[in-house]
Amino acid sequence: MTREVSVELQNVDKIYDTAKVVDGINLTIDKGEVFVLIGPSGCGKTTTLKLINQLIPHTSGTILVNGEDVTKLDAVGLRRSIGYVIQYIGLLPHLTIEENITFVLQLLKRPKKEQHERALELVETVGLPVEYLKRFPRELSGGQQQRVGVARALAGDPQILLMDEPFGAVDPLTREQLQNELLSLQEAIQKTIVFVTHDMQEAFKIGNRVGIMREGKLVALGSPMEIINSSDEFVRNFIGHGALFDALNSIPVKQVLSKDIPTAREGETLTDKTAKNGWENIFLLNDQGVCLGYVPVENLDSTRTISSRNMVPLPRGCSPDLSIKRAVEEMLYNGRAWIPVASEDNVFQGVVTFQSCANLQT
Amino acid sequence: MEDFVNAWAYFLNRWEYLLETLLDHFVLVVWATLIVILIGVPLGILISRAKKMQEIVLGTVGVLYTIPILALLGILITIMGIGTRSALLALVIYGLLPVVRNTCVGINQVPEKTKEAALGMGANNLQLLMRVEIPLTFPVIFAGIRTAMVMTFSLATYAVFIGAGGMGRVIMQGIRTYNTGMLLAGIILVVIATVSLDRLIGYVDHRVKKRFSLVE
CA distance B60 to chain A (A): 33
- A50, A107, A136: residue with CB nearest B121: A107
What average pLDDT score do residues B43-60 get? 91
What's the pLDDT at A89?
A: 67
Q: A158 at the B interface (CB within 8 A)?
A: no
**Could you tell me if residue B194 is inside a domain?**
yes
What's the pLDDT at A362?
A: 45
Q: What's the rounded Cα separation, in Å, for the pair A238 and A88?
A: 27
- A80, A94, A152: residue with CB nearest B213: A94
Q: A157 at the B interface (CB within 8 A)?
A: no
- B121, B135, B213: residue with CB nearest A79: B121
> CB A76 to CB B122 under 8 A?
yes
Range of the domain at B47: 2-211
Q: What's the rounded Cα separation, in Å, for the pair B176 and A80?
A: 69
What's the pLDDT at A29?
A: 94
Least confident of A249-253, A270-274, B75-79: A270-274
What average pLDDT score do residues B141-166 get? 90
Q: How many structural domains compose chain B? A: 1
**Could you tell me if residue B121 is inside a domain?**
yes
> CB B114 to CB A89 under 8 A?
yes
- Residues of chain B positioned with their CB less than 8 A from the CB of A97: none
Q: Which of A134, A40, A142, A152 is nearest to A96 (CA)?
A: A134
Name residue A157's amino acid: D
What average pLDDT score do residues A41-62 get? 92
Least confident of A49-63, A214-228, B127-141: A214-228
More confident residue, B110 or A278: B110
> CB A86 to CB B111 under 8 A?
no
- Residues of chain A positioned with their CB less than 8 A from the CB of B117: 84, 86, 90-92
pLDDT digits 0-9 by tens, B182-192: 999 999 999 99
pLDDT band at A275 (very low <50, low <70, confident <90, very high): low
Q: Which sign, positive or negative, has the C-alpha torsion A289, A293, A298, A301?
A: negative
What's the pLDDT at A274?
A: 59
> CB A93 to CB B132 under 8 A?
no
Q: Is residue A123's pLDDT more than 50? A: yes
Which phi and psi angles does A34 have, rounded to 5°? -100, 115
The percentage of chain A sitting over the pLDDT mark of 70, rounded to a whole number, equals 95
- Residues of chain A positioned with their CB less than 8 A from the CB of B129: none
CA distances from A227 to A158, A210, A212, A243, A302 (A): 29, 8, 9, 9, 56
- Residues of chain A positioned with their CB less than 8 A from the CB of B136: 92-94
CB B139 within 8 A of CB B209: yes
What average pLDDT score do residues A231-257 get? 78
pLDDT digits 0-9 by tens, A294-340: 888 888 877 778 888 888 888 888 888 888 888 888 888 888 888 99
What's the pLDDT at A257?
A: 83
The CATH number given to whatever domain includes residue B28 is 1.10.3720.10
> CB A53 to CB B117 under 8 A?
no
- Residues of chain B positioned with their CB less than 8 A from the CB of A104: 121-122
pLDDT digits 0-9 by tens, A330-341: 888 888 888 999
**Could you tell me if residue B216 is inside a domain?**
no
Q: What is the pTM of this model?
A: 0.74
- Residues of chain A positioned with their CB less than 8 A from the CB of B130: none
| Residue of chain B whose alpha carbon sits nearest to that of A94 | B212
Residue A209, number of CB atoms within 10 A of its CB: 19
What average pLDDT score do residues A273-287 get? 77
> CB A103 to CB B121 under 8 A?
yes
> CB A80 to CB B121 under 8 A?
yes
Give me the helices (H) in B109-179, please. 112-120, 125-127, 134-155, 167-176
Side by side, the strands of the sheet bearing A34-38 are A82-85, A160-164, A192-197, A34-38, A209-214, A217-222
